[in-house]
Amino acid sequence: MQPASKANQRIARISAHLHPPNFQMEESSGLRHANCQAKGTAPGFKVAILGAAGGIGQPLAMLMKINLLVSVLHLYDVVNTPGVTADISHMDTVRGFREEALVVMDLVIIPAGVPRKPGMTRDDLFNINAGIVRTLCEGIVKSCPKAIVNLISNPVNSTVPIAAEVFKRAGTYDPKRMLGVTTLNVVRANTFVAEVLGLDPREVDVPVVGGHAGVTILLLLSQVKPPCSFTPQEIEYLISRIQNGGTEVVE
């Protein structure tokens, strides 16, 4: 291959990363945006994050970029996506990286939506975030209906059923592939119980069941590991602290 041809391909490759939405290559070049990924990229999960420019989406994108199980990462948001895309793509990992949203994905994670503000309940978010989740799921149904869908958008207790209805109408609903992400409650429970017990949170395991909104969050203190006991005052404190952890952050 001539030096000039190599240079042109290198420039085209860089352009593909800097301007993915508008990038078009001539057929004769032999280079397509789909092929623009780092050498050494191993087969793995193709992951899309919808809402990648938000307060949850950006750190989530970073974690996915360094995850060895992720081979291709797609980011989508309604604002600021090119900047976030550029920033995350600069990380020195070998995972392939693209900005298209939903192209044959294995896993779609949805943190999109408006955040809860002081004085707002999760119910106040419903009218806005319900429509956002419905619209995004309609896109998933068209592009990658068999993908695993992880919903973070609040109120999770309500956005998961909405997403399920979209898939049911399309005839592609699989309850094993649609999950509401409520692990945050477990993380908080482990932290707060460890504080009460004076233990390392990494050594504490507190089962949490139910939903992800206030009184629907049920922590099983009788099943805590390592086995321990609590005073009535400690139980009251822990239940209130864990159920209202999200409100504490918002306020």
**Could you give the CA distance from residue 225 to residue 205 in angstroms, rounded to a whole number?**
5
- For the chain, what is the largest distance between any 2 Cα atoms, rounded to a whole number of angstroms? 78
Q: Which residues are marked as active site?
A: 212
Cβ count near 33 (within 10 Å): 20
Residue 122: alpha-carbon gap to chain centroid: 19
DSSP labels for 104-132? S-SEEEE--SPPP-TT--HHHHHHHHHHH
Q: Give the burial class of 84: count Cβ atoms within 10 A of its Cβ; 0-12 exposed, 13-18 middle, 19 or more buried.
A: buried
CA 250 vs. chain centroid, Å, equals 20
SS3 content of the chain, % helix, strand, coil (to 5): 50, 15, 35
Beta strands in the chain (DSSP E): 45-50, 70-76, 96-98, 107-110, 148-151, 178-180, 208-210, 217-219
Q: Is the peptide bond before 145 cis (omega within 30 degrees of 0)?
A: no
